[in-house]
Structures are given as C-alpha cells and as structure tokens.
Amino acid sequence: MNTSFQHRLDGRFVAELDCIAEWLVQRGVRRQNRFQLYRQNIALLQAHDLERDRARIHADFEKRGRITEVLSTFVETIEMVETIRTLMDAGVVVPAELLKKAFSGPVDTFRENACSNLARNAMFELTMGAMAARSALNPVLSTNNPDIQFEFEDRRVSLECKRVISKSKVFERIEEGIEQLAKSVRTGTDDVGMVAISLAKLFNPGDRIAVVPKGVHPHDLLSQELQQLLRRAEPVLTRFMRPSVTAVLFYLSSPCYVPGVGYTRASCGTVFPMNLDEQIFLRRMASNLIA
C-alpha cells in the first residue's frame, strides 16, 4: 500500500480544521466534541513552537497530567482532517449515525478502553473509507454489514473494519470480521472479502511520539514495526482461511516528530493474502490504495 505522510499543524491546517468543524455541525455533530479541545491545544502549541519554548510547554502539560492528551491531538486531528476532507471532496455519503459516533468518545487516546472505544472504531471506518475514496473507488459506507463496499476491476469488495486495543484480542477481532464477511460476500462469485484491522493502539497506546532520525522517512519506522507484527502473526493467520475472506489489511499510524519539519501523522498498511490464488489481484489493488 502507498503511504500517507504530511507535515501539518500549521496555519493553513488550522483554517481547514475550522472549515471542517462547521461542515460537521451542519450535519448534526455536536460543536462541543473532543476535536474542539484539540483545536485549543494546537493553538497553544503553535504559539510556543520555538525550540526554547517547546520543552517548557511539554513539561507543563506533563505536570498537569495532559501529555497523552497532547499526543492524541497530533495524530487524531491530522487524521480527522485528512479523512473528512477526502470524503467531502469525493462526495462520499457518510451515514449521520456513523459521523456522530466518530466525534464522541474520550479526549485522551491513552485512557480509551473496551467500554469507550466506539468513537475511534467509527473513525477508523471513516479512515478506511477515505483510503478507497482517494483512489476514486466510490466507497459506500454503512452502519450495517459490510462497513465499506466498493468496486475494483469490476469486482465487488466488502470491507469489515476492526481496531485492536489489546494484543490478546487481535485474532478474535479478525475472526469476528471474517464471520461478518460471510453475510455479505456472495459464494460462487468473484466477490472480494477483506478485514481491515488497525494495530495502531498496540504500537502506540497514546503515551509517546515517534521521533524520526535524520534522513529516515516516518514510513520506514512504521513499516518495520508492522512487518515484525506480521511475522509473529503469520503462523496463526493460516488458521482463519475461509471462502468469505480474501485478505486481511493491516494498518498502522502514529504521531511523529520530524526534526526541522515539525509534528505530523504517518501511516502505512499492508495486505496479507488469505487466498493465495488472488495474490496478483491483491497486489494490484494494494498498489492503488493510499493509507
């Protein structure tokens, strides 16, 4: 899969954030949501973005127990703007229920648990929808099964989206997605069934930021981590081969700090074939998808 990496959190970004916030309110999203607090954090960080101020501001956030909230600000606000702008520009219809759910939830990713993860689960569905929209695949988002559906090379692709917040739940979530695909993937056809699973919470629970060494692209850091996770998971994945699942899409994202550039979000993904006969097709599709 192609990779997303953009330097954001500048004045242009804030203007875009405000524009999207108004668009969301017009569609029934409450004005007071976690992204409003993120907007305030960004304004504060921008006002003290000189090297001599940065350490002091971060120390102040840490003293008040808000440093993990700041890290959530970086990754989630950038991801939200990239995602919603893509869906808006592509004219993708987002169900109101899904949109409202995505903008609820706790402010601090680090404090998220199994009882409060519905908002970020919904945002992951929007992120995957935007991934398909960037490739002009006209995704259809739903609050029913499948989460997302689009066509690639005249084949219907059904995508079930899962986020994992515990290592012990990775394979359980994959199996859950496969069972859901069985309801939408038509047997005896060339339908494609995929489970998209985000491992971002395992790589970064929300309590750190990846500092990118000089000369290294943020993608390389995430890609290495993702490949290590896949190597450990591969022996187990073969147990989940079913007619309804063609592949599993593994996704990773994290806030990053690039010295001399600034704070950003980087993401990457890889498609793991569950049906070896479809490897060539899956390779073509993966090359068209932009995480």
B/e letters for 6-24, b = 16+ CB within 10 Å, e = fewer, are eebbeeebbebbeebbeeb
Residue 5's pLDDT band, with cuts at 50, 70 and 90, is very low
Angle at 290 between CA 287 and CA 291, to 5 degrees: 125
Give the per-residue pLDDT at 291: 60
Regarding predicted confidence, which is higher, 133 or 75? 133
Rg (alpha carbons) of the chain, rounded to whole number: 19
pTM over 0.75: yes
> Using CA atoms, how far apart are residues 258 and 217, in angstroms rounded to an integer?
9
Give the per-residue pLDDT at 24: 92
* pLDDT beyond 60 at 4: no
Give the per-residue pLDDT at 51: 61
Beta pairing class for 210-211 and 192-198: unpaired
> Using CA atoms, how far apart are residues 3 and 6, in angstroms rounded to an integer?
10
> Using CA atoms, how far apart are residues 268 and 22, in angstroms rounded to an integer?
29
| Tens digit of each residue's pLDDT (9 = 90 or more) over 226-255 | 888 888 888 899 899 999 999 999 999 887
* pLDDT beyond 90 at 90: yes
| Tens digit of each residue's pLDDT (9 = 90 or more) over 265-287 | 788 899 999 999 999 999 999 99
> Using CA atoms, how far apart are residues 151 and 145, in angstroms rounded to an integer?
16
Q: Which residues are CB-neighbours of 209 under 8 A, at least 6 positions away?
A: 71, 74, 254, 255, 256, 257, 263
Residue 150's pLDDT band, with cuts at 50, 70 and 90, is very high
> Which has the minimum average pLDDT: 3-12, 28-37, 116-125, 263-272?
3-12
Region of 218 on the Ramachandran plot (φ > 0 left; ψ -120 to 50 alpha; else beta): alpha
> Using CA atoms, how far apart are residues 167 and 228, in angstroms rounded to an integer?
14
Region of 161 on the Ramachandran plot (φ > 0 left; ψ -120 to 50 alpha; else beta): beta
Angle at 264 between CA 263 and CA 265, to 5 degrees: 145
* pLDDT beyond 90 at 91: yes
Mean pLDDT of 181-204: 91
> Using CA atoms, how far apart are residues 285 and 291, in angstroms rounded to an integer?
12
Burial class (CB in 10 A: 0-12, 13-18, 19+), 255: buried
Cross-strand pairs, 151: 156
Cross-strand pairs, 6: 265
Residue 2's pLDDT band, with cuts at 50, 70 and 90, is very low
**Closest among 81, 85, 4, 55 to 254, alpha carbons compared:** 4
